[in-house]
Structure 1
Amino acid sequence: MSTIQEISRRRTFAIISHPDAGKTTLTEKLLLFGGAIQTAGAVKSNKIKKTATSDFMEIEKQRGISVATSVMTFEYRNMKINILDTPGHKDFAEDTYRTLTAVDSVILVIDCVKGVEEQTERLMEVCRMRDTPVIIFINKMDREGQAPFDLLDELEAKLNIRVRPLTWPVNMGSDFKGVYSLYDKTMNFFRINKTKVEDDVVEIDINTPVLDEKVGERDAAQLREDVELIEGVYDSFDRQPYLDGKVAPVFFGSAVNNFGVKELLDTFCDISPEPIARATDKRVVKPEESKFSGFVFKIHANLDPRHRDRIAFLRICSGTFERGKFYHHTRLDKDIRFASPFSFMADSKSLVEEGFPGDVVGLYDTGTFKIGDTLTEGEDLQYTGIPSFSPEIFKELVNLDPMKAKQLDKGIQQLTDEGVAQLFTLPIGNRKIVGTVGELQFEVIQYRLEGEYGAKCRWTPMPISKACWLTSDDKRKLDEFVRLKGMQIAYDKDQNPVFLAESDWILRMNIQNNPDIKFHTTSEFKTAVEA
C-alpha cells in the first residue's frame, strides 16, 4: 500500500467532555465496536469489577476519572483509527489542550441531563481557535434529560457553532425506544446491553405502518413530526462546513449500553478528515511530503511501573517513520534512533516497524524529549502551538524523608516533564515551586511520587498569583531586573527566568515600571501580558 493510501485511511481524533459525561465509557465502546476489546466493563459498575480500558493509572482506577491522556489504536472498516481519550477534569485541562494539537478532529460528549457545562465550553473554545472539526454525541439518553430540541439550541448558543442532527431519539429515559438515523434512513431499536455488540438496526421508511408497529402510533407520529421539522429548519448535511469547523453533526445514544455508538462510528469514518497539514516556525508541512517529521505532544513517566520507563508520545505529521532509522532532534541539534517504538492499546504496547501521518508512536525516552520537541529527516524546523501556560496555583514541595531526596528530585523532574504541572526553582535555598491549574494535580503528583518513586512530600501554599517568563532585547537590563527582584525570580527547567508575582497589581506595576522587559504568559514567549 502506498504512503498516500496509508494516509487516506488514517483517522486521528480526541474525545473531550466535562467530567462524568461518559467520555471514557464512549471510548471503550468504540474499541468494542472496533474489535479491539471483546468485553466492555462499565466504568464505576459494582457488578463488573473491571475499570475502563483507557484508565490504566492506579489513581484513575480508584477515583473513576481520567487524569492523563490515553492513546488507543484499532482497525475498523479498513481504516486505522487513533483515539486520544483526554482528561475531563478541569484541573488537567492543559494536558487536554496540548492533546488537541495532535488530532485532526474531535468528538465532544454531552450529558443529556446536564447539557453544556463549564469545562465543555472551555474545551470548545480551544477547538474553535483552530477550527477543529467537531462531532457531538449526546449521551445518557436512557435517563430523563432535557428535550432534544432544547439541547440543540443550547449547543448553538453556548458553543458558538451551528449544529445538524444526524440521528434523532424516540423518547428518552425509561421510555427510550431508539434512534433514527437521518444520515442513512435506518432505525436502531434500543436494548440494554453493556458488555457486547448486538444491533437491532433496520432500514425503514418512517412513513410506513411498520414504524407504528415497532414503536407505537404516538411515538411514530412524533418522530415523523420531528424529522419534518429538522429537515425544514436545518440545512441538509454538507461535509465541507463540518471539515471547516463551522457545523457540528449531532448524534444521540447511550454509551454505557452500547447504543447509538455504531451510528456515530460509521458516520465518523465516512465524514471525518484525513491527517491535515500543520504549521511550523518555517513553513506549513503537508502530510503527503516524502520526508518524515513529527512532534512530541505528551510525555508519560512510569507507564509500566515495573520498568520505570518514560515514554514520549509522537504525532507523525509527514513522511514515513521507520524503526531503527536516525532522525534529527531539532532542539538539541543531534540525530537519534529508536530501536523499539510502540503503538498503544491503553497500557498494552506493540512494536511498530513503520508509521504514517496521523499515527501516534510511543518512543522510549531517557530524558531527551520535552513537550513540543520536533523530529525531522534533516530539516531544521519546529512545530508550533504547543506551549505551557502560566499556572494558577503555586505550592512549595517539601521533602518529608531526607533519605529519599534523590528519589524525590528525580520524581518531580520526571512528573513535571509530563506537562501536568510546572516546576520552578528559587535559587535561594534551591526551593522547588510547583505550579498547576488545579488542586487535584497536587494530589496526583503526591500519590505518584510515593507510589512510583518511594518519596514522601507535603505541599506548602505560596502567595503567588501569576508566573511570567521574562525576555528583553537588552540583556543588561534583564540581568539587572533579575538581580533587583531576586526573591521573586525563579527558573524553569530550561533555566529561563520567571517572575513570580504575588498579585495582579504587583505584576501590573512591574510591567509599567520596566518597559524594556517583556512579561510572557506562555512558554512560547509569544503572548506578552498587557499592562
Structure 2
Amino acid sequence: MSVDTTGATRHEAEVSEEARRRRTFAVISHPDAGKSTLTEALALHSSAITSAGAVHGKGDRRGVTSDWMDMEQDRGISITSAALRIDYEGRVLNLLDTPGHADFSEDTYRVLSAVDCAIMLLDSAKGLEPQTLKLFDVCRARRMPVITFVNKWDRPGREPLELLDEIEQRIGLRPTPLNWPVGIAGDFRGLVDRDSGVYTKLTRTPGGATKAIEEAVDTDRAAEVEGEAWERAREELELLEALGADFDRESFLTGKSSPVLFGAALTNFGVGRLLEAVVGLAPAPAAKGDVNERPRPVEAPFSGQVFKMQANMDKNHRDRMAFVRVSSGRFDRGMVLTHAATGRPFATKYTQAVFGADRSTIDTAFPGDVIALVNAQALKVGDTLYDGAKVEFPAIPSFAPEHFVVARAKDAGKYKQFQKGIAQLDAEGVVQVLTSDVRGEQAPVLAAVGPLQFDVVKHRMEQEFRSPVEVSPLEYSVARRTDEESAPTLHALSGAEVLRRRNDGELLVLVHNKWRLRVIERDHPSLFMEPLLAGGVVEDE
C-alpha cells in the first residue's frame, strides 16, 4: 500500500521557505552605548514606525518603543528585554532588544540563547568595554556570528583604525569594514561603501526623529567638497585593501571575523546600511541540537523553547507571558502542544506578537519567530514545548549571583501576596530565590547579579502584588554549586551557608568572599564546590 506524502512534503517546503526569510538577532553593548536608540532607529528605517523616540527625549518625543516598564521610562535605561517583529523587504526580522545595564546582564544572556546573530554596538569614544567583552564571550562560546556597529560617530571619539586594531587584539575577532567614515569622529561627513565605492553624504535631520537625508555623491565632487577629510579616508581605504580586511562569509558565520559598519543611531546616520547587512549577511534559522546533541531540522514538527517570562506587561490585565523562540515547524494558534518538563498538554489559544508594549494576535509562526504565550502559568525559562514525538532542548543556565539579600513582607497580613509575588519574580528570572529550613519561606534569600535587580523587586512587589517588602543585605559575594553529601559540613563552617535554589532544586553554598572560599577549598579539598555557569561561560575565578 502506497502512502501519500504530498501533504507532508508541501508542509516541510513551506516551513523551509519561511525559515529562510527569517533573521533573528539581538543587540549587545555596554550601558550607554546607545543600544535602545539603535533598536528604535532600525525600526524607523524598516518603516515599522514613522518617528523615532529617544530614551532621554525632549519636548514631545516619547520613550523608545522597546522600553515599556515604568522604571525604564523613569530612569532612561532598559531593564527587561523586548521583542520587536518587523516585516522588511520580504524578510521577517525578529529583533530582541536587551537590558542596557550590567545589573540585568542575565536577561541578556537568556536572549542570546534565542537568536542566530548579534549586533555588537561600540561607542566610538570608548571602544570595547567590560560588559561588551563579557557578552562577546558568550557569543564566541556559541560560535554566534557578530556584526559590529561603531556608534556615535557624530561625537568626538577615537581613530577608526585604532578601534579595528582593538577589536582584533582584545577579542581575536578579525574586523572587515563594509563601509568607512569620511571625517573624524565628531566631524561626520558621510560613508564610503567599500564594495561599490559609492560615497553617501549625510545631512542631519532635526532631532534625528526621521530618517537621515542621504545623497550619493561621485568621487570627483566628494574630493572637491570634503577636501582633506576625503583624502584621509581614501588613504585609510587603501590601507584596508592592502591588509586584506575584506568580508569573508565563511569566517563570519563561524565567529572568526566581523563585518564592521560606522554610523550614529541617534541621528540615524548609517543605520539603513546596518539593516541591509543584517538582511543580507545574518544567517537564517538552522537545526538546533536537543539535550542529546541531536540536531532537530527546522522542517521537523513544531518545537520551541521559553527564553523569557514576563508578567503584567499590560496594566489592564494581570497576566503572565512566556516568550518562546520557534525552533522548528509551523506554529498555528490554538494547537495543543506538549510541555516537555511535565508531559502535560499546553493549549495555545492566546498567542501574540509583541512590538514593545503593543500586542497583536498571531495566528502562525515559523522557525526564528518569537511568540508570546499569554497566561503561561505552568512554564518557566528554559522549558521546551513540542508537537509530535518528544524533543527537549538543553536548559538555559542560571547566572552566577554576586549579591544577596533577605526579603520579608512589611505587612504580615499580606503573606499570600508576598509568596505569590516572590514566586512570580523567581519564575521570570528577575532574581534567583534561595530557601532553607533554617530561614523558612517567610524570609527567602534573593540572589542577583547586580543590586539594581533588588530595586525592581521592591518596585514590582509594591506596585503589582500590593505587598511591599524590606530587604536586608547579606555578607556573601560568592556562590558555588554543592551536593547533599557536602552540604552539612559546608553549612557548619564560618562564613558559609547552604541554601536550595527554588526554581531547579540545586544546592548552593554562599561564601563571604573569594578569600574565604580559597581557605575552605584548602582545608576541605574533598567537599564538592563547583563554579556556576553564566550563559555557557564559566564564571571568572
What's the TM-score, normalizing by structure 2? 0.90
Asked whether the 8 Å contact 2:212–2:269 carries over to 1, the reply is no
Which runs of structure 2 are paired with 1:462-473 in the superposition (5 Å)?
A: 462-471=474-483
Asked whether the 8 Å contact 1:520–1:526 carries over to 2, the reply is no
RMSD, matched Cα: 2.6
**Separation (CA, whole Å) in 1 of partners of 2:302 and 2:193:** 40
Residue 446 (1) aligns with residue 455 (2): no
Partner of 1:129: 141
**Separation (CA, whole Å) in 1 of partners of 2:307 and 2:111:** 6
Match of 1:211 among 222, 244, 249: 222
The alignment-based identity, stated in percent, is 37
**Separation (CA, whole Å) in 2 of partners of 1:122 and 1:520:** 20
Shift of 1:4: 1.2
Asked whether the 8 Å contact 1:285–1:318 carries over to 2, the reply is no
Query: Which digits, 9 at most, give the CA deviation of each residue in 1:19-68, with x for residues without a partner?
Result: 11111001001101111111111220223441011011000001111111
**Separation (CA, whole Å) in 1 of partners of 2:512 and 2:333:** 49
Q: 1:266 to 1:34 in 2, by over 3 A?
A: same
Residue 83 (1) aligns with residue 95 (2): yes
Partner of 1:8: 20
Q: 1:530 to 1:80 in 2, by over 3 A?
A: closer
Which runs of structure 2 are paired with 1:373-412 in the superposition (5 Å)?
A: 373-384=383-394, 386-412=396-422
What's the TM-score, normalizing by structure 1? 0.92
Query: Which digits, 9 at most, give the CA deviation of each residue in 1:349-388, with x for residues without a partner?
Result: 1111111110111012342111111111243332125111
Which runs of structure 2 are paired with 1:469-480 in the superposition (5 Å)?
A: 469-471=481-483, 477=485
Match of 1:328 among 326, 338, 341: 338
- Where 1:415 maps in the other structure, the secondary structure is helix
Q: 1:11 to 1:527 in 2, by over 3 A?
A: closer
Asked whether the 8 Å contact 2:16–2:299 carries over to 1, the reply is no
**Separation (CA, whole Å) in 2 of partners of 1:325 and 1:96:** 30
Q: 1:141 to 1:523 in 2, by over 3 A?
A: closer
Partner of 2:375: 365
Partner of 2:187: 175
Question: Tell me, which stretches of 5 or more residues in structure 1 are unaligned?
Answer: none
Q: 1:134 to 1:90 in 2, by over 3 A?
A: same
Partner of 2:264: 254
Which runs of structure 2 are paired with 1:417-456 in the superposition (5 Å)?
A: 417-430=427-440, 431-456=443-468
**Separation (CA, whole Å) in 2 of partners of 1:240 and 1:81:** 22
- Where 2:169 maps in the other structure, the secondary structure is helix
Choose 451-460 or 380-389, whichever is displaced more. Answer: 380-389
Choose 57-66 or 296-305, whichever is displaced more. Answer: 296-305
Q: 1:439 to 1:478 in 2, by over 3 A?
A: closer
Shift of 1:293: 1.1
Match of 1:141 among 153, 167, 173: 153
Match of 1:162 among 157, 174, 194: 174
Shift of 1:160: 2.2
Partner of 2:3: none
Residue 40 (1) aligns with residue 49 (2): no
Residue 264 (1) aligns with residue 278 (2): no
**Separation (CA, whole Å) in 1 of partners of 2:540 and 2:20:** 44
**Separation (CA, whole Å) in 1 of partners of 2:540 and 2:163:** 38
Question: Tell me, which stretches of 5 or more residues in structure 2 are unaligned?
Answer: 1-12
**Separation (CA, whole Å) in 2 of partners of 1:54 and 1:505:** 41
**Separation (CA, whole Å) in 2 of partners of 1:416 and 1:526:** 20
Q: 1:368 to 1:171 in 2, by over 3 A?
A: same
Shift of 1:229: 1.3
Q: 1:6 to 1:203 in 2, by over 3 A?
A: farther
Read off the aligned partner of 1:197 and give its amino acid letter.
K
Which runs of structure 2 are paired with 1:171-320 in the superposition (5 Å)?
A: 171-193=183-205, 194-202=208-216, 204=218, 206=219, 209-213=220-224, 215-320=225-330
**Separation (CA, whole Å) in 2 of partners of 1:530 and 1:225:** 42
Asked whether the 8 Å contact 1:275–1:287 carries over to 2, the reply is no
Q: 1:124 to 1:179 in 2, by over 3 A?
A: same
Q: 1:526 to 1:270 in 2, by over 3 A?
A: closer
Shift of 1:464: 2.1
Choose 117-126 or 512-521, whichever is displaced more. Answer: 512-521
Asked whether the 8 Å contact 1:32–1:39 carries over to 2, the reply is yes
- Where 2:529 maps in the other structure, the secondary structure is strand
Match of 1:489 among 490, 494, 498: 498
Shift of 1:325: 1.1
Asked whether the 8 Å contact 1:291–1:376 carries over to 2, the reply is yes
- Where 2:464 maps in the other structure, the secondary structure is helix
Q: 1:186 to 1:268 in 2, by over 3 A?
A: farther
Choose 44-53 or 239-248, whichever is displaced more. Answer: 44-53
**Separation (CA, whole Å) in 2 of partners of 1:400 and 1:323:** 42
**Separation (CA, whole Å) in 1 of partners of 2:383 and 2:410:** 34
Choose 179-188 or 55-64, whichever is displaced more. Answer: 179-188
- Where 2:138 maps in the other structure, the secondary structure is helix
Shift of 1:174: 5.0
Shift of 1:203: 6.5
Q: 1:247 to 1:402 in 2, by over 3 A?
A: same
